[in-house]
Structure 1
């Protein structure tokens, strides 16, 4: 296959989420100050933040767990390019099957659903319980979790993803309460800003939009165009300014 057979996938995103370089640098600095020996990234994708923590903590070792082979391959290539391949392992398994050991730093970035078959939002509490078991005493968990910034209207829900519901997410205070109930103290609570969301959403579609502009008559163009248009509609008329992303740095209670 050539590069024109299908559009590239997410090549213009550094992180697969609304996370800026400035915020990532601050998070990595806070996590690195704990001098972790072992870093675990659950639902890692290509594990960019994990690799940055490993780069900041010489000698630390990391494990990334995900089911997407393409993303894992990207993570391995990035690790090789940075000379980290001997200190990180990317495992193609589900979070419940991987059999990983507890770690000093546990990352779960937009992936809390991997711990539970429960529908949203109950899976968040189950994920926090699993994360509490996954972190060593004195360690840190970084949880990135979606939340409603305000209650969505019926019109907004109608253009989001299929079967979107007003009770699908907690609010920010609700997530913090769940973290405390699971045995954590929230050492740091922050949320993605509008600029981070716009960078992420634009980058999410950029490869596809550029490919469509260059290949309007391609056999896959119509299907790809409809999918991109649905996503843009869902964002701009649905969850823009409504769905938030919280980044909680959690410390386990002894």
Structure 2
């Protein structure tokens, strides 16, 4: 899960994905998800929908719906869809995903966005089971602790960070199974992917600060960037991100 202190803006020009995801892993995910020939794709907390757009390109009969509350990210997604000739096959909707009626879909993407379905992971997983068709797939990108963080580490992460914010990986998979899924594929972001993502996340801001040290907004921006860097260098190697390809178990009564 994307740490809750993080915000999204259009200044993140170095980011392809809004999370620790390499091109090589993205290619493998897209190939695996498209091989199930989804007709409909639903992206929860889609941001600019890069992964969804790649799935649509690989599954030419599929249509997609992305849901997010960030208007700037959605505008970036619409521009990308237009540039790739996908405008007639995808919608980017500025609305809450809580209780959404935009399912069931053959493929549901929820990458770093389970909080959009509720504060508690079991509820989010139950919603994902409701939103996916019985023969579909869910790609869940979810945070987990690689080890239990110390109180000192938690104090340097996001505001009010707690050891209960994430499960460990085994518990995460167990929760998915309890919600009515089987894990077709389990993989986790590498340290290289995390470092690429976090560096790219701050890169535009850092360059701007170096070039505008006396700007009226520089002090506030510098403090915000420094807090963010201190947080991610603290959870580096402690917070993991799992990519779970989940298969729904049996028919669901809706």
Q: What are the Cα deviations for residues 170-221 of structure 1, in whole angstroms up to 9, with x where unaligned?
A: 0000110001000000000000000000000001100100111111111111
Q: CA deviation at 1:97?
A: 5.5
Which residue of 220, 225, 228 maps to 1:228?
A: 225
* Residue equivalent to 2:149: 152
Q: CA RMSD in A?
A: 1.1
Question: Contact 2:158–2:231 at 8 Å: present in 1 too?
Answer: yes
* Residue equivalent to 1:216: 213
* Residue equivalent to 2:113: 111
Which residue of 232, 239, 242 maps to 2:238?
A: 242
Which residue of 70, 78, 81 maps to 1:68?
A: 70
Given the alignment of the two structures, is residue 99 of structure 1 paired with residue 101 of structure 2, yes or no? Answer: yes
SS at match of 1:251: strand
Q: CA deviation at 1:101?
A: 2.5
Question: Contact 1:8–1:207 at 8 Å: present in 2 too?
Answer: no
- Alignment TM-score, normalising by the size of structure 2: 0.93
SS at match of 2:164: coil
Question: Contact 1:8–1:208 at 8 Å: present in 2 too?
Answer: no
Alignment of structure 1 residues 67-216 onto 2, 5 Å: 67-96=69-98, 98-116=100-118, 118=119, 123-216=120-213
Alignment of structure 1 residues 42-61 onto 2, 5 Å: 42-61=44-63
Q: What are the Cα deviations for residues 50-108 of structure 1, in whole angstroms up to 9, with x where unaligned?
A: 00000001121000000000000000000000000110000000002543121000000
Q: Distance in 2 between matches of 1:54 and 1:253?
A: 25
SS at match of 1:185: strand
Q: Distance in 2 between matches of 1:102 and 1:16?
A: 25
Q: What are the Cα deviations for residues 25-56 of structure 1, in whole angstroms up to 9, with x where unaligned?
A: 00000001000000000000000000000000
SS at match of 2:243: strand
Q: Distance in 1 between matches of 2:168 and 2:62?
A: 34
Q: CA deviation at 1:153?
A: 1.3
Number of residue-to-residue matches in the alignment: 242
Q: Which runs of 5+ in 2 are unaligned?
A: 1-8
